[in-house]
Amino acid sequence: MSVGVAILGSTGSIGCSTLQVLARQRERFRVAALTAHSNADLLEQQAAEWRPSYVGLVNSGKSEAGRGKGAECLVEAATRADVAIVVNGIVGAAGLEATLAALRAGKRVALANKEALVMAGELVTRAAREGGGEIVPVDSEHSAVLQCITGRRPTELERLILTASGGPFRTWTPERVAGATVEEALRHPTWRMGKKITVDSATLVNKALEVIEAHFLFALPYPAVEVVVHPQSVVHAFVEFVDGSVLAQVGFPTMELPILYALTHPERVPDAGARRFDPVAAGSLTFEPVRPDLYPAYGLGRAAAAAGGTAPAAFNAANEVAVELFLEGRIRFGRIAETIARVLDAHRPGDAGSLAAVLATDAEARRLAREAACS
Ligand SMILES: NC(=O)c1ccc[n+]([C@@H]2O[C@H](COP(=O)([O-])OP(=O)(O)OC[C@H]3O[C@@H](n4cnc5c(N)ncnc54)[C@H](OP(=O)(O)O)[C@@H]3O)[C@@H](O)[C@H]2O)c1
């Protein structure tokens, strides 16, 4: 019997890569549900090819009634009886409620939507514990960690070092970076991804989000989650064990392997279509410390992580608003970090143990960010 997979955000970069992976695994998996936000044309094409039992479009973008099903369709898709695995490829806070619902319903969530775990790590991990669901990371760095630690006891784990490409501005001066254009920020050197995460990679906010994600996924204190800049994106993470031994997972940058592994973990299955690794083609591998002057938003994210409670939710919301304004051409690149800093200055971290508290923080941080960004 094939395993039913729901893909939330099937029209995005992760969603499309997931369908490419599934096209080579048709005997193991079947697409049971697909959702998108507003790209009705691509969603229709995907539905025609994969014939899922459920298709949900949040917002058709057209005025006629009945085309969009609203955000409820995400929870519906994620909790269906014929779905065992939910690939959450939604971008931003919009993915949170479906992740919670899927975990409470005992599903495996192959989680690309890191923002959900950042804003509500406590709630998400509790939903998994209580509902019997399981969170398996899709992010390549966290997949690398999982691949290195599978079969080991948690007490054997000492430290993680996540790698960051450094984005397109790694060799720029901070002054030049502050005035970077949208086109320049979207020119990622090693990965092809959606616009929001590409900008997050240029600010290194993405890596701060990943540090918080790793803290919740692997139950490690923040000082034990380090980051190093590795421009070739070949080593995805290092894992240090208590005896000082270090394992790393390597491969050419592609999301297809971490997606497949999230579906099959702890098993590995043959994938004839996977690009094979070649150390000579990979060339020299280099590693550099993160430069705080070049990536001020990364430090802000780490500070929010250390503050804990609702601070990561405020950090995430402020960043989402600032990135949106930057992509719309309304603020300069340097303003993203400035906006986050102003929101975090104003935020008094509270308890993040309830959905109401997290959503209230999210809404307030968004309001403050809009005010701060444009003033
Ligand atoms: N791309 C990568 O290689 C990569 C790697 C690691 C982690 N991730 C993470 O994966 C997530 C998705 O990234 P992506 O690059 O695939 O983004 P993307 O290309 O922008 O795709 C986002 C998907 O989510 C849907 N969506 C957007 N807003 C939504 C909303 N409010 N409600 C419901 N659905 C919504 C979009 O639908 P429409 O197409 O209809 O707008 C689209 O299907 C992010 O959290 C990102 O950090 C991505």
pLDDT tens for 81-122 read 999 999 999 999 999 999 999 999 999 999 999 999 999 999
Instruction: Report the separation in Å between the CA atom of 254 and the middle of ligand 1, taken as the mean of its atom positions.
Output: 16
Write out the chain in H/E/C secondary structure.
CCEEEEEECCCCHHHHHHHHHHHCCCCCEEEEEEEECCCHHHHHHHHHHHCCCEEEECCCCCCCCCCCCCCHHHHHHHCCCCCCEEEECCCCHHHHHHHHHHHHCCCEEEECCHHHHHHCHHHHHHHHHHHCCEEEECCHHHHHHHHHHCCCCHHHEEEEEEEECCCCCCCCCHHHHHCCCHHHHCCCCCCCCCHHHHHHHHHCHHHHHHHHHHHHHHCCCHHHEEEEECCCCCEEEEEEECCCCEEEEECCCCCHHHHHHHHHCCCCCCCCCCCCCCHHHHCCCCCECCCCCCCHHHHHHHHHHHHCCCHHHHHHHHHHHHHHHHHCCCCCCHHHHHHHHHHHHHCCCCCCCCHHHHHHHHHHHHHHHHHHHHC
203 in contact with ligand 1, CB cutoff 6 A: no
111 in contact with ligand 1, CB cutoff 6 A: no
112 in contact with ligand 1, CB cutoff 6 A: yes
Average pLDDT for residues 49-67, to the nearest whole number? 80
Average pLDDT for residues 261-288, to the nearest whole number? 97
139 in contact with ligand 1, CB cutoff 6 A: yes
Average pLDDT for residues 52-74, to the nearest whole number? 81
Cα gap 141→90, rounded to integer Å: 18
Ligand 1: which residue has its CA nearest to atom 21?
Answer: 12
Average pLDDT for residues 9-17, to the nearest whole number? 98
Ligand 1: which residue has its CA nearest to atom 9?
Answer: 112
pLDDT at 200: 98
The whole model's pTM is what? 0.97
pLDDT tens for 152-199 read 999 999 999 999 999 999 999 999 999 999 999 999 888 899 999 999
68 in contact with ligand 1, CB cutoff 6 A: no
What domains sit in the chain, N to C, each tagged with a CATH number? 3-138 (3.40.50.720), 154-252+290-374 (1.10.1740.10)
Instruction: Report the separation in Å between the CA atom of 293 and the middle of ligand 1, taken as the mean of its atom positions.
Output: 29
Average pLDDT for residues 333-338, to the nearest whole number? 98
Mean pLDDT of the chain: 96
More confident of the two residues 173 and 60: 173
Q: Which ligand 1 atom is at minimum distance from the Cα of 191?
A: 3
Instruction: Report the separation in Å between the CA atom of 201 and the middle of ligand 1, taken as the mean of its atom positions.
Output: 14
Residue to mutate (ligand 1; options 96, 140, 193; most atoms within 8 A of CB) = 193
Instruction: Report the separation in Å between the CA atom of 123 and the middle of ligand 1, taken as the mean of its atom positions.
Output: 21
